[in-house]
Amino acid sequence: MSAEKNRSIIEQRTALRPKLAMVLGSGLGAFVETIEEAVTIPYDDLEGFPATGVSGHAGTLVIGNLSGVAVAVLSGRAHYYEHGNPAEMRPALETLQAVGVDRLILTNSAGSLDPDCPPGSVMLIGDHINFSGSNPLIGEPSDARFVGLTEAYDPEIRAALKAAAAKNEIDLSEGVYMWFSGPSFETPAEIRAARTLGADAVGMSTVPEVILARFLGLRVAALSVITNLAAGMTGAELSHQETKDMAPVGGARLARIIATFLEGQANDGR
């Protein structure tokens, strides 16, 4: 099994045994530079890890200390729109679980449907809408595939992230993230439909990882860095360049929230 093989590769390269992991979204890779005693393992060295093909995504597993807490950071993810496989992150998440990770914080770049949550802000995902028509557990034979998602986003971690944001005087609104398959951006009509359906932000990732992580029994939280107002809201065309340019702005806020959140965890002795 690839997760066990990967576990021994990882355990040979670092003595750290992180219980908390993060996945970094588009343009958020600068975050890894703040990790101390970092050991970097290219995805190519690990079985089943994605070959990341999206510019702005690195493709490395970084294990080190952040605010005194051991963390495993996946810098770069596979997206459903790359090969049409919504379960492409499954081996990576199973590997994290095999090395002892029990909590996962996912990050992404997203378009906002709320003018009060403009580009550069950060949104805490409280719930999601799967609008892709796909699911990473299709084909999973065990009954565990019928995973409950009523509290997919862990209330305790969410509360701790909100407290960390407040401590930094950063607005952190909580909202609903709607997963579109991409890679084309949404149309203005799709955004109007998304608003009617209850979405606050839209994006092309994260939801399949949330479903897989809950399937594996990991506790999950997710944060969106808002890079743009959604299609049709400003008259301007959307672009991946804008996502990459704007992600570091909100990314700096995100990094402060995470650093303070982890300090709290370190003090809790976790």
**Are 71 and 18 within 8 A, CB to CB?**
yes
Phi, psi of 110 (to 5 degrees): -150, 160
Minimum distance of ligand HPA from residue 182's CB (angstroms): 6
The binding track of 195-214 with respect to ligand HPA, each residue x by CB under 6 A or -, is -------xxx----------
- Pick between residue 204 and residue 220 the one whose CB is nearest to ligand HPA: 204
- Residue 111 or 136: the one with the smaller Cβ distance to ligand HPA is 111
Distance of closest approach, residue 57 Cβ to ligand HPA, in angstroms:
13
Strand partners, 201: 112, 177
The number of angstroms, rounded, from the C-alpha of 46 to the middle of its chain's C-alpha atoms is: 20
For residues 66 and 259, the answer to whether their CB atoms sit within 8 Å is yes
In the complex, least distance from residue 168 CB atom to ligand HPA, rounded to whole angstroms = 23
CA 172, 176, 180, 186 dihedral sign is negative
Encoded tokens for 3: 């997760």
User: What is the C-alpha separation between 107 and 31, in angstroms, rounded?
Assistant: 11
Residue (97 or 243) nearer to ligand HPA, CB = 243
The answer to whether 180 touches 186, Cβ cutoff 8 Å, is: yes
**Residue whose beta carbon is closest to ligand HPA:** 111
Write out the binding residues for ligand HPA, residues 226-255 only, by CB under 6 A: 227-228, 230, 238, 243
* Nearer to ligand HPA (CB atom), residue 136 or residue 203: 203
**By CB under 6 A, which span of 60-68, 74-82, 131-139, 223-231 interacts with ligand HPA?**
223-231
Concatenate the DSSP letters of all residues of 215-247 into one string.
HHT-EEEEEEEEEEEPTTSSSSPP-HHHHHHHH
- Window 107-146: residues binding ligand HPA (CB under 6 A): 109-111
Determine, following the binding rule CB under 6 A, whether residue 223 of this chain makes contact with ligand HPA: no
Using CB under 6 A, list all residues that contact ligand HPA. Answer: 109-111, 180, 185-186, 202-204, 227-228, 230, 238, 243
